[in-house]
Amino acid sequence: MIQGKSISGLSYAIKKTSGKAACCAISINCGTRAEGDLPEGIAHFVEHCVFKGTEKHSARSISQLLDKLGGELNAYTTKEEIVLHATVLKEDIYKAISLLFEIATQATFPEDEIQTEKGVVIDEIISYLDSPSEDIYDNFESRFFEGHPLGRLTLGTEESIKGARRQDLVDYYETYFTPSRMVLSVVADIEEKKMEKKVCSLIGKYCATSKPDSSKESPCTYPTPNFFSIREDKDNHEANLIIGSLAPSLYDENERICCVLLTNILGGPAGNSLLNAELREKHGWVYAAECNYTQYKDAGLVTISVGCDKDNLTKCIKAISKILEKLKETPMSEKALKEAKRQLSGQLAISSDSKESQALSMGKSMLAYGRVDSDDEHIKRINAISPEDIRQMAQRLWEEDHYSQLLYL
């Protein structure tokens, strides 16, 4: 892998891998937390609108270009980044990179397209609100980080999107879509030095000079979480529960890896995770049970979420409490921990087989740390974790009266 930075301040990571398909991504250091006084959800709205026209291409011609390449163009917004990415045949990768740069540096925000996208985004918000299992997480996070930039809703609200003006979109775009805030990541079956030469040429074409960072983003500050236990009546056929606590940030390196392993043990994708084994496989009480760890610059958030019949809710809560108490009080056996490490390492290896996953992971890592670590380095950190490390992390996350609960009934 080749990693570097251009004179404009744009960073890049390039990796050679086998296969006919190739993936490229531009990750921008911004997201919802950077909205400041702009309407809530403007970052996500910008992500929608950048595809609706550039100085050279209309929305229709952008779509037609991708159709000709037989590729896929997509994007997403988080609290801390906006990512534009494309997957194409390897011989078309430079065309795809050029298009991403054009969208990231020359978007024009036509007024008629903005009005159309308002409807699309509002429909997305309504759809989200109609799905309790999805809405509950954003509602929880907004309450937990209330008063902090991390508490802003990524989609915004109907009211905030209806009130957004073209100038709001332009202001956000011009402030944050600057080379020093961008990372280009490329994964393709092309010799890395050859790719780097072409990529640097494209960077020079679209980002010839550095641009002053005029952002007014709030500096990273450790959030003071709001501890609560709230019930909302949704008149739904099932109960949705989320329990969450403050966790290590992106920059708490060793603790972060320990937290990743613990959450995977507790409620990762495998059927033998503690929550799945007890609540779903053994008792059949839940439709879904999982544990997620979201990492931010300031802090992280670990959540346990379940969806179940209302009659099973009390039993689920008692079982979850019992599982957490055991993790806090009794160190795992070396054998069980070894299996958990092997399982997590396998999941990382499988995800690395996807070019898209690799490109997106490389971009996120470059934004956060200015580097991309190898899989071997990740596995080395995982293997260094002890049973006592897991127990102490469980005690930290699930300390009595230091976590919050939101229930939809």
Confidence of residue 216 (pLDDT cuts 50, 70, 90): low
Q: What is the pLDDT of residue 376?
A: 86
Residues 6+ apart with CB under 8 A from 88: 21, 22, 23, 69, 70, 71, 72, 95, 96
From 100-104, 222-226, 240-244, the region with the lowest mean pLDDT:
222-226
Q: How far is CA 304 from CA 262, 278, 291, 301, in A?
A: 12, 14, 4, 10
Q: DSSP character for 14?
A: E
When pLDDT is averaged across residues 173-187 and rounded to a whole number, the result is 96
Q: What is the pLDDT of residue 96?
A: 95
Please tell me the CATH code under which domain 229-408 is placed: 3.30.830.10
Distance of CA 251 to the CA centre of its chain: 16
Position 209 pLDDT exceeds 80:
no
Per-residue pLDDT reduced to its tens digit, 119-137: 999 999 999 998 888 899 9
Given the structure tokens 């990512």, which residue do they identify? 83
When pLDDT is averaged across residues 277-292 and rounded to a whole number, the result is 93
Confidence of residue 271 (pLDDT cuts 50, 70, 90): confident
- State the chain's mean pLDDT as an integer: 92
Closest to 97 measured CA to CA, from 106, 105, 107, 86: 86
CA atoms within 13 A on the CB side of 334: 1
Task: Report how far residue 342's alpha carbon sits from residue 328's, in angstroms, rounded to the nearest whole number.
Answer: 22
Q: What is the pLDDT of residue 351?
A: 79
Domain boundary assignment for the chain: 2-206, 229-408
Residue 186's identity, in one-letter code, is V
Q: Which fold has domain 2-206?
A: Cytochrome Bc1 Complex; Chain A, domain 1 (3.30.830)
Confidence of residue 25 (pLDDT cuts 50, 70, 90): very high
Task: Report how far residue 393's alpha carbon sits from residue 259's, in angstroms, rounded to the nearest whole number.
Answer: 7
When pLDDT is averaged across residues 154-174 and rounded to a whole number, the result is 97
Q: How far is CA 327 from CA 57, 323, 386, 396, 405, in A?
A: 56, 6, 13, 11, 19
Task: Report how far residue 36's alpha carbon sits from residue 149's, in angstroms, rounded to the nearest whole number.
Answer: 8
Position 138 pLDDT exceeds 60:
yes
pTM: 0.91
β-strand partners of 182: 28
Position 241 pLDDT exceeds 60:
yes
Position 239 pLDDT exceeds 80:
yes
From 20-24, 296-300, 390-394, the region with the lowest mean pLDDT:
296-300
Q: What is the pLDDT of residue 234?
A: 86
Confidence of residue 237 (pLDDT cuts 50, 70, 90): confident
Q: What is the pLDDT of residue 388?
A: 97
Q: What is the pLDDT of residue 401?
A: 79
Closest to 184 measured CA to CA, from 58, 362, 386, 372: 362
Task: Report how far residue 208's alpha carbon sits from residue 77's, in angstroms, rounded to the nearest whole number.
Answer: 26
Task: Report how far residue 289's alpha carbon sits from residue 269's, in angstroms, rounded to the nearest whole number.
Answer: 9
For residue 132, report the phi and psi dihedrals to the nearest 5 degrees.
-55, -40
Confidence of residue 221 (pLDDT cuts 50, 70, 90): low
Q: What is the pLDDT of residue 35?
A: 96
Q: What is the pLDDT of residue 220?
A: 60
Position 193 pLDDT exceeds 60:
yes
CATH topology agreement for domains 2-206 and 229-408: yes
From 13-22, 262-271, 307-316, 386-395, the region with the lowest mean pLDDT:
262-271
- Residue pair 403/397 in contact (Cβ under 8 Å)? The answer is yes
Distance of CA 396 to the CA centre of its chain: 24
Q: What is the pLDDT of residue 170?
A: 97
Task: Report how far residue 12's alpha carbon sits from residue 9's, in angstroms, rounded to the nearest whole number.
Answer: 10
For residue 367, report the phi and psi dihedrals to the nearest 5 degrees.
-65, -40
CA torsion, ordered 17, 22, 27, 31, to nearest 10 deg: -120
When pLDDT is averaged across residues 64-73 and rounded to a whole number, the result is 88
Residues 6+ apart with CB under 8 A from 122: 158, 161, 162
Per-residue pLDDT reduced to its tens digit, 305-355: 999 999 999 999 999 999 999 999 999 999 999 999 999 998 888 877 789
Q: What is the pLDDT of residue 257?
A: 94
Confidence of residue 254 (pLDDT cuts 50, 70, 90): confident
